[in-house]
Amino acid sequence: MQDLTEPAGPQDRNNVQNSADRIRAAFSPDRLRDFGHRLADLLGGQMAAVQNRETPVLNWAEPRGLTSIASEFLESGTRADLAAGGQDGEIAARFEQLVEEALNRGHNLHHPRYIGHQVPAPIPIAGLFDAIGSVTNQVMAVFEMGPWATAVEAALIEKLGTTIGWERGRFSGVITNGGSLGNLTGLLTARNVSLGESWTSGLANSGHPPVLLAHQDAHYSVARAAGIIGVGSGNVVRVGLDDRRRMDPNQLDETLTQLRRNGTPIVAVAASACATPIGAFDPLDQIADVCKRHEVWLHVDAAHGGAASLSRKYRSLLAGIEQADSIVWDAHKMMFVPALCAFVLYRNAEHRYATFQQDAPYLFDPSSPGTAEFDSGVATLECTKRAAAYGLWGTWSLFGERLFEDLVDATFDLGRHFYEMLVEAPDFEPLHEPQCNIVTFRHVPPEVAGESEEQLAEFHFRIRRELIQSGAFYIVQTKLNGQQSLRVTIINPLTTEDDLAALLDEIRRLGRTAAD
């Protein structure tokens, strides 16, 4: 065994020097500047090609093959050790190769024919603002670790809360990584407020098992949250819907009356604005009245539809949302910024501190009460949290609020237009009248009109699979009222009426093949 007190030999000094060289190469400001310019050029070229419809929407490949290719790059990087010994031109070429590989094999959400999941084509410049937080690693939990990130988050919470209609200074909120975590956070808060000592004592001694009431089509994260917070996914009571698949206030009232009569503890009512399958906005004003009468916490999952409050044309869809106790609003949906940036908002400012009740003296400094109220770690499951709001803050500060209204109006209007196209087409069947940019429909040409539901389901599966693998369009599928169907979310503001007409033509073409 080597005596560590002996002087280092030439080989040891060489290893130390090589290690230092590798570290300096990785942290080089000059290289960052050079690579940043190269990245901007590559991204700009890719964005132009995608928006001009010169690329596939989805670069389809089997997952095992893609993973193998990604692994090969890892291995070749290890062998080349370019950061230490390569020439600058060689390293730059390698960087461009890696960027191009990522761009050429990814999903092109900025393609106007991406009309699939509720994930937008984000405003590209928002990504540049997000890069500031990523490169400089602005993290949050306590104010002093991310002072500007904290200030940006606080300013945006105030902006969104006043947009909802709340009085400045009386509400609060926090940003989380996604709507699922947002629903969990809001419903955990509701549990702690509604069930008293549940944070410290648990739910074992609560008598009747508590329940959570939810829209029948509520996002799966609501039932998942019920399981995590100890209510149990089996104790989620699904409230009946009206003829537009919205939560029915009368049925909600009847259900709450029966639960109160039975002495069943109620955590919250979870309404949707909007629900995922068809984009149905619950009648929040009536639901809020029912909840107030029964003294029940109202939680609104407005992850997708919250941005409608920024539109003069569509804000009526959210009438009554200001009466909610907690709201989830994803900026990475209809505010068109990169994922993930989800707000949890509380009508009562004090409820921000009801979610978690614990001590962490190594983090939170009681000697600085003026800054402690800005420590996000007291209000969210995350301790270290990325600066998620830079993209939204930068975009809002650069372009102003009107841009978000334009984006909502353009996509919601196009959803209505697509519905009208479906109504006029004899071989297509819209399954609902849309309230926003989500439209669910079926293709039923004469060749398959008399087939069984099982056969029609397989017909639609084949159309959708061939459509997305071709790269021509990207749409999704769902099941509504027992019927397998196709579903679009028009969440790229660059999509046109011509794109939607071309979609119907392509579905027809694939349908003829699938029907054979």
Nearest-angstrom CA–CA distance, 101 and 273: 38
- Maximum Cα–Cα distance across the chain: 88
pLDDT at 251: 97
Residue 279: enclosing H or E segment and its boundaries?
A: none
How do strand 385-386 and strand 483-489 relate by DSSP bridges? unpaired
Q: Is the peptide bond before 503 cis (omega within 30 degrees of 0)?
A: no
DSSP one-letter string for 182-251: HHHHHHHHHHHHHTTTHHHH-STTSSSPPEEEEETT--HHHHHHHHHTTS-GGGEEEEPB-TTS-B-HHH
Tokens 């056969």 found at:
455
Domains of the chain: 129-397 (3.40.640.10), 403-515 (3.90.1150.170)
pTM of the model as a whole: 0.92
Yes or no: say if 102 and 59 are a contact pair by the CB < 8 Å rule.
no
Mean pLDDT over each residue of the chain, to the nearest integer: 91
Nearest partner of 172 among 383, 351, 381, 318, judged by Cα? 351
Nearest-angstrom CA–CA distance, 279 and 246: 9
pLDDT band at 12 (very low <50, low <70, confident <90, very high): confident
pLDDT at 1: 45
Give the residue-averaged pLDDT of 26-50: 95
Yes or no: say if 444 and 429 are a contact pair by the CB < 8 Å rule.
yes
pLDDT at 411: 98
Share of the chain above pLDDT 70, in %: 93
Q: In this predicted model, what pLDDT tens digit does every residue of 470-511 receive, in sequence order?
A: 999 999 999 998 899 999 999 999 999 999 999 999 999 999
Tell which wins on pLDDT, 172 or 141.
Answer: 172
pLDDT band at 362 (very low <50, low <70, confident <90, very high): very low
Q: In this predicted model, what pLDDT tens digit does every residue of 444-480 receive, in sequence order?
A: 999 998 899 999 999 999 999 999 999 999 999 999 9
pLDDT at 187: 97
DSSP one-letter string for 450-487: TS-HHHHHHHHHHHHHHHHHHTS-B-EEEEETTEEEEE
Tokens 């009368």 found at:
250
Nearest-angstrom CA–CA distance, 336 and 416: 20
Q: In this predicted model, what pLDDT tens digit does every residue of 230-284 receive, in sequence order?
A: 999 999 999 999 999 999 999 999 999 999 999 999 999 999 999 999 999 999 9
pLDDT exceeds 80 at position 345: yes
